[in-house]
Amino acid sequence: MTSPDAQEHAQEHAQEHAQPPTRSPTRPSQREVDARPYDPAPGRRYAHLWGYDDSGFEFVDARTVRLTGSRYPLAGAPLPHFMPFVEALLGVPVGPEHVQESVPPPALPAPQRNEAFVTELSQAAPDLRLEGDDQARLVHSHGQLSVDEIYRLLGGIVPKRLVDLVAHPSTEDEVRALVRLADQHDVVLIPYGGGTNVSGALACPPNERRMVVSVDMRELNRVLSIDRTNGWVEVEAGITGKDLEIRLEAEGLTTGHVPDSVELATVGGCIATNASGMKKNRYGNIEDLVLDAVLVTPRGEVRTTPVVPRRSTGIEAQRLAFGSEGGLGIITRATLQVWPLPEVLRYASLVFPDFAAGVRYLQAVQAAGVRPASIRLTNNTEFRLGQALGRAKRGVGALTSKLTKYYVTRVKGFDPERMVACTVVMEGSADEVRQQARGLFGLLKAHGGLSGGPENGRRGFAVTFAIAYIRDFLNTLGIFGETLETSAPWSRIHAITDAVEAELRRMCTERGVAGTPYLSYRLSQSYRTGACIYFTMGFCARGLEDPVATFHEVEHRIREVILEQGGSLSHHHGVGKIRQDFLPRVHSEASIESVRALKRALDPNDVFGVGNHVFHTDDPSGEATEPTSPRAQHRRGTTRAP
């Protein structure tokens, strides 16, 4: 867990004054490669689940699980404490006997075909790769919404509406041809990046009668140019975050953009959802990183030239790409800032007696201007989850663990049921990291904190990349779970977390949910004025008459509670479809209408008819609501008599 305070401060002091490792300026050191929390090697992805098919949780015996493969630091060794922790937390039995085998999907409905479109497309872009088989259609018709998409798919229930064809453009000219011909032939295009969204953003509107084409952008994945003098890289938008970082590392550079989905998400997808990464303190959010982006719409390309640090040339239309969620066009390329790889990479962990002390500490860190690359505070439940994912310790390691626990709990008086932890990543030059460490540890004692050591910090950062695999594994055991995130002022953090916890328990009790619901949360990104609260909620759905409906009722109410208590609708997951009905509560009528006016100007025939954000064309009852042009009205049968 942690080491005795004096020993840890000695260890921190030794690291602070150690000479940074030397390395070639054009490639990462072996230490940096070993410290990466995921394997840079390519892999084959699961068809529907999260991640790579060489990785996943499985039972070793009735009480022990392991993460397969060797892709993540957590993988390989048995994890004997995890399942007992889950059982104790949820208050329900969980074992191999509860595994629900997946059901193959039924025969898919025949695709809609627009033969004139397909014929002209093959002539205009003869090298464009097209897929129309059932597997490709099904994979591209959903994201990673755990209950509404993944759980249903594992149960053999396919989406109400599937894409009809999948296009894999490899050039911008092919994208332009797709957009032009789709507009001419009344075809819907849905941009597809890494497929990692958890907002229902890839679901087809169920009543769409036109041909729907998924545009998989991952073959548009080149690094077009690197400008060391000006500090930027130009890339095609289909490159994944992982592949971009690997390419840049070979040049001694980084963007510093590390969302949880960095292995799978594309640059275009990050822009379209207005994403944030775990190292935003040092490198910024996606809107800070991107200097320019090209958005191809039915009315032409939206872009501004030249690429410069900043402009004052009026309203910049290319910023429409941020948060557009596939509703305005296709992002084909972007220019991002880059930095030299940090000279020093250093982890740390900090432990506090309770969540309130940790929040006060984070706020003090922000007020003091201390900027580690990443600093994340977990609540007690998530802290204990991290401990439960530890490997079995033997010999000296087991003895040290017992002594540490005794020191922290008996000598320092920390309650294991209340204590929390911060995971810290410090990056930069040796001097910068020393200053970050001085600032962080200088504020620690005043807030009742202890150092937990660098190894716990490294491990805590790495565990993040296993969370989605845990979610999918528990899903097969009838344990539903999903993430919700919000941005909140410092003054509202405790009101939000307390209200969410109370309402989750109340609703689950009212609906007869077995055992106790699960709620963990962390402050994943912090700002001068507040922080992102990243919730993970879940409960045992076994025995419920309609578990999916129950989960949606609970989740929807939790989002309402967050808004009622002063939180935002989203911090970085976006709106998609699951948050649409909340939009009138967070945007004024004029704001919503101005965005819809942009849609009418750039895409009057609703080519990009995926229906996210305020661009929806069908409500949950299946009634058309927002036709965008006379042609769209006629197509949906909603034209009115004069």
Single-letter amino acid code for the residue at 553: E
Q: What pTM, to 2 d.p., does this model score?
A: 0.91
534 in active site: yes
Q: Which two tokens stand for residue 368?
A: 């003091």
- pLDDT tens, residue by residue, 271-282: 999 999 999 999
DSSP 414-442: --TTT-EEEEEEEEESHHHHHHHHHHHHH
Residue 602 and residue 329 in contact, taking contact as beta carbons nearer than 8 Å: yes
CA dihedral 208, 164, 104, 578 (to 10 degrees): -40
Confidence of residue 575 (pLDDT cuts 50, 70, 90): very high
Angle between helices 493-510 and 355-367 (to 10 degrees): 150
Beta strands 330-337 and 290-297 are antiparallel
DSSP 528-543: SSEEEEEEEEEEE-TT
Contacts of 156 (CB under 8 A, 6+ apart): 102, 103, 104, 105, 106
Rounded to whole angstroms, the Cα distance separating 240 from 135 reads: 22
| Domain 223-340 bears CATH identifier 3.40.50.1000 | no
- Domain residue limits, the chain: 5-42+61-79+342-466, 115-216, 223-340, 590-636
Residue 67 and residue 469 in contact, taking contact as beta carbons nearer than 8 Å: yes
Residue 616 and residue 240 in contact, taking contact as beta carbons nearer than 8 Å: no
- pLDDT tens, residue by residue, 424-447: 999 999 999 999 999 999 999 999
- pLDDT tens, residue by residue, 292-337: 999 999 999 999 889 999 989 898 887 889 999 999 999 999 999 9
Rounded to whole angstroms, the Cα distance separating 513 from 85 reads: 19
**Rama region for 610: left / alpha / beta (φ>0; ψ in -120 to 50; rest):** alpha
Confidence of residue 570 (pLDDT cuts 50, 70, 90): very high
Q: Which two tokens stand for residue 407?
A: 């020191």
Residue 264 and residue 310 in contact, taking contact as beta carbons nearer than 8 Å: no
Architecture of domain 115-216: 2-Layer Sandwich (3.30)
The predicted structure's pLDDT at residue 640 = 28
Task: For residue 589, count other CB atoms closer than 10 A to its CB.
Answer: 8
- pLDDT tens, residue by residue, 51-85: 999 999 999 999 999 999 999 999 999 999 999 99
- pLDDT tens, residue by residue, 137-193: 999 999 999 998 999 999 999 999 999 999 999 999 999 999 999 999 999 999 999
5-42+61-79+342-466 folds as: Alpha-Beta Plaits (3.30.70)
